[in-house]
Amino acid sequence: MAANFPTQEQVQGGIGATEPGHDHAHHDEHHEQSFLQKYVFSTDHKVIAKQFLITGIFWAIIGGALSSLFRLQLGWPEATLEWLKPFLGKWIEAGKLNPEFYLALVTMHGTIMVFFVLTAGLSGTFSNFLIPLQIGARDMASGFMNMLSYWFFFGSSVIMFASLFIETGPAAAGWTIYPPLSALPQAIAGSGAGQTLWLVSMALFIISQLLGGVNYITTVINLRTQGMSMSKLPLTIWAFFLTAILGLLSFPVLFSAALLLIFDRSFGTSFFLSDIYIAGQALPNTGGSPILFQHLFWFLGHPEVYIVIMPAMGMVSEILATNARKPVFGYRAMIGSLLGISLLSFIVWAHHMFVTGMNPFLGSVFMFLTLIIAVPSAVKVFNWLATLWRGNIRFTTAMLFSIGFVSLFIAGGLTGIILGNAALDIQLHNTYFVVAHFHLVMGSSAFFGLWAGVYHWFPKMFGRMMDEKLGYLHFWLTFAGVYLVFLPMHYVGIAGFPRRYYAWTGFDTFSQFADLNKFISVAAIIAFLGQFIFIFNFFYSIWRGRRATENPWNSTTLEWTTPVVPGHGNWPGDIPAVHRWPYDYSKPGAEEDFIPQTVPYSQTQSSNLPYEKEME
């Protein structure tokens, strides 16, 4: 059945630009596809990328709306929320938000943002869109598997979305779903059907990730065009490639954790349960360990934050270089630091567990490994700064978001050094300090990477430009909003306010900062509403935006050598061969301030560096 899809053949044709020229003829004769084949069950990586993006935007609106709901509760704990009754129905009890539903909101906000927006929506969109275009391939190695990857994600989305509406409420044990809370419906209503749907949905999600990941890796390894050695790959591709490897190695562990939890929940096993007396009854389970679940969860959970942030790092590197009109500084160091981060991300997971009762010696080991990972991250920041230094910067919206990314990554990354210190984590664990830290370093930063990517590659996706002025407004509003929300949140965290609290009013220790929490809530809700500027701009520009040119940003990479809207197979003729690295911006002696990767050294004799002379 797969053979019916034209892309398959094109991929065969695309394995190298070395293929004889029948490629071109082959293209012209390809048959018209039905609507269903073209836009729904498409195997074209560009369409699949857009499917991921639009589903991701849908999820981001849901995730953001949920956060506005619980910020209402946290900002105005005494207020009546009766007016939300039309939307929330029975979850508003006598004008108050149901505390279990509050926990469900927090849980679903986390799950949606981490997995459905920043993993699928970010990496799914741009790995799909950019890998074939930037390495010079007709499509992914397997268009069919790629299609399956999206549809598994879609199925998983439908189930997760449905779980929001069931009677006992969605999963409510936190996005980390620590058992026993997540295993026992007696403990919280959300651990009934809601948690079951959560687990099923995540299982499908993991399948989607694996199908996608295998494809990305295979494509990068096998389908690079002539001349595109690994050392000539744009940093975006390096980032997507390593992200896919991380996902492939770590998601199966989450799958196993989910599976064991399903066994504990439904089939009476005791992997994570022991010595429990609940709801007037002693359970028969003995010998299990809740800590085991945490090890399994964080073995994915920690690489996951790098799965979220590395694609953003790659895109930001690319966009900073393009718009500073300067080569990215330390290309090899950038790859090296990505490799370092990828490797280290697998051996730091237990820093989420310093105070869980894990052996303190293990805590020491993980503290040491965790703080090492700060070094490659620091190198990346210095290299981005050096890329801006003495550049000739054009502030496109994508560039603004990229600079914003670096700023937020620094702000959030530095506090990671505090939290990675086990002795300091005793006090800060599970406080708002943690919430502020990861919302800056992986939440907001990754979102900024996502926006930068959308603004930058929108012309290649839809053949039109997004409106710049609206983009500027969107950026400044969001940039200020993010800082106004998350900087004060650190203060709340240092004061020890625990996360996932419905209200702090019961404690004297947490009696201050009612005003600050109100302030954070206002900023968060305004920043959320500001996102509709982006959504308007996005959809308006798809149909009514200014028409784009082939290479609107004067960029060097391969995707800008395709037609304004690349069709099936990406290049109408032969796939271009690559001759140079992707960052020849403002090269001394060159006529233009950029030399595309497809230009051979023989044509740029005036600007060739000594060692490049040999390659003329």
Q: Are strands 277-278 and 92-93 parallel, antiparallel or unpaired?
A: unpaired
**Residue 491 binding other proteins, by CB under 8 A:** yes
Nearer to other proteins, 477 or 565 (CB): 477
Q: Which amino acid is at 458?
A: F
421 within 8 A of 9, measured Cβ to Cβ: no
Q: How far apart are CA 329 and CA 324, in angstroms?
A: 11
H or E segment to which residue 2 belongs: none
**Phi, psi dihedral angles at 557 (to 5 degrees):** -80, 170
Question: Environment class of residue 278 by beta-carbon count within 10 Å: exposed (0-12), middle (13-18) or buried (19+)?
Answer: exposed
Residues between 258 and 287 that touch other proteins (CB under 8 A): 273-278, 280, 282, 286-287
Smallest separation (angstroms) from other proteins to the CB of 163: 18
**Residue 486 binding other proteins, by CB under 8 A:** no
Residues between 514 and 543 that touch other proteins (CB under 8 A): 516
**Residue 592 binding other proteins, by CB under 8 A:** no
State the distance between the two ends of the chain, measured CA to CA, in whole angstroms. 47
Task: Select from 147-155, 198-206, 246-254, 356-364 the region that touches other proteins (CB under 8 A).
Answer: 356-364
**Residue 231 binding other proteins, by CB under 8 A:** no
CA angle 199, 201, 207 (to 5 degrees): 105
**Residue 451 binding other proteins, by CB under 8 A:** no
**Residue 565 binding other proteins, by CB under 8 A:** no
Contacts of 191 (CB under 8 A, 6+ apart): 171, 172, 173, 181, 182, 183, 184, 185
H or E segment to which residue 280 belongs: none
Residues between 498 and 517 that touch other proteins (CB under 8 A): 498, 500-504, 506-510, 512-513, 516
- Residue corresponding to tokens 């992986």: 442
Smallest separation (angstroms) from other proteins to the CB of 154: 30
Q: Cis link prior to 576 (omega < 30° from 0)? A: no
297 within 8 A of 202, measured Cβ to Cβ: no
Residues between 395 and 424 that touch other proteins (CB under 8 A): 395, 400, 403, 406-407, 410-411, 414-415, 417-418, 421-424
Query: Encoding tokens for residue 224?
Result: 């690079």
Q: How far apart are CA 111 and CA 109, in angstroms?
A: 6
Closest-CA residue to 196 (of 226, 162, 219, 227)? 162
Nearer to other proteins, 37 or 356 (CB): 356
Nearer to other proteins, 34 or 427 (CB): 427
**Residue 82 binding other proteins, by CB under 8 A:** no
**Residue 454 binding other proteins, by CB under 8 A:** no
Nearer to other proteins, 34 or 509 (CB): 509
H or E segment to which residue 92 belongs: strand 92-93
**Residue 81 binding other proteins, by CB under 8 A:** no
Phi/psi zone of residue 390: left (φ > 0), alpha (ψ -120 to 50 degrees), beta? left
Binding mask 313-352 for other proteins (x = CB under 8 A): -----------xxxx-xxxxx-------------------
**Residue 469 binding other proteins, by CB under 8 A:** yes
Residues between 372 and 391 that touch other proteins (CB under 8 A): 372, 374-375, 378-379, 381-383, 385-386, 388-391
- Per-residue DSSP letter, 167: T
Q: Return the residue of 75, 261, 587, 604 that touches other proteins, per CB under 8 A.
A: 587
Nearer to other proteins, 52 or 331 (CB): 331
Nearer to other proteins, 267 or 277 (CB): 277
Nearer to other proteins, 166 or 494 (CB): 494
User: What would the DSSP string read from start to end of 499-539?
Assistant: TT-S-STT-STT-S-HHHHHHHHHHHHHHHHHHHHHHHHHH
Nearer to other proteins, 511 or 602 (CB): 511
Residues between 86 and 145 that touch other proteins (CB under 8 A): 99-100, 103
**Residue 168 binding other proteins, by CB under 8 A:** no
Q: How far apart are CA 592 and CA 236, in angstroms?
A: 23
Q: Return the residue of 393, 547, 605, 606 that touches other proteins, per CB under 8 A.
A: 393
**Residue 583 binding other proteins, by CB under 8 A:** yes
Nearer to other proteins, 245 or 590 (CB): 590
**Residue 249 binding other proteins, by CB under 8 A:** no
**Three-state secondary structure call for residue 434:** helix
Q: Which amino acid is at 592?
A: E
Q: Return the residue of 66, 114, 140, 188 that touches other proteins, per CB under 8 A.
A: 188
| Residue 315 β-bridge partners | none
Task: Select from 227-235, 439-447, 454-462, 586-594 the region that touches other proteins (CB under 8 A).
Answer: 586-594
Task: Select from 8-16, 122-130, 220-228, 480-488 the region that touches other proteins (CB under 8 A).
Answer: 480-488
